[in-house]
Amino acid sequence: GENVEQHPSTLSVQEGDSAVIKCTYSDSASNYFPWYKQELGKGPQLIIDIRSNVGEKKDQRIAVTLNKTAKHFSLHITETQPEDSAVYFCAATRNSGNTPLVFGKGTRLSVIA
């Protein structure tokens, strides 16, 4: 089955700097890669996703890149703000059968003002 590795587990950045979180996956048939943000005391919330037919997707200050050959994808947050502080999860799945999402273990991002 799919296995998703996520790094780093914790990340501290100065406000205004960029943050990058990386994930690798094992199943070459995976084709859907979402990113979730979890604020303290809440459930995770989707912030961006990418499908295997594109290499990059942007939404304001966040972007995701996908390298299918290397089987890794990354989340980029530019001009970080204190409200970006949260735990971020990557996930992956293939579009066949009922195979569910497999999540990485999460990255705790702290943006220091």
Distances (CA, A) of 26 to 57, 63, 80, 90, 102: 22, 22, 30, 13, 11
Q: Does 106 bind another protein (CB under 8 A)?
A: yes
Q: Does 70 bind another protein (CB under 8 A)?
A: no
CB under 8 A: which stretch of 19-27, 63-71, 74-82, 87-95 binds another protein?
Answer: 87-95
Q: Does 24 bind another protein (CB under 8 A)?
A: no
Q: Does 73 bind another protein (CB under 8 A)?
A: no
Nearer to another protein among residue 6 and residue 80 (C-beta)? 6
Are 35 and 49 in contact, with CB atoms under 8 Å apart? yes
Q: Does 61 bind another protein (CB under 8 A)?
A: no
Q: Does 75 bind another protein (CB under 8 A)?
A: no
Binding site for another protein (CB under 8 A): 6, 31-32, 34, 36, 42-46, 49, 51, 89, 93, 95, 98-106
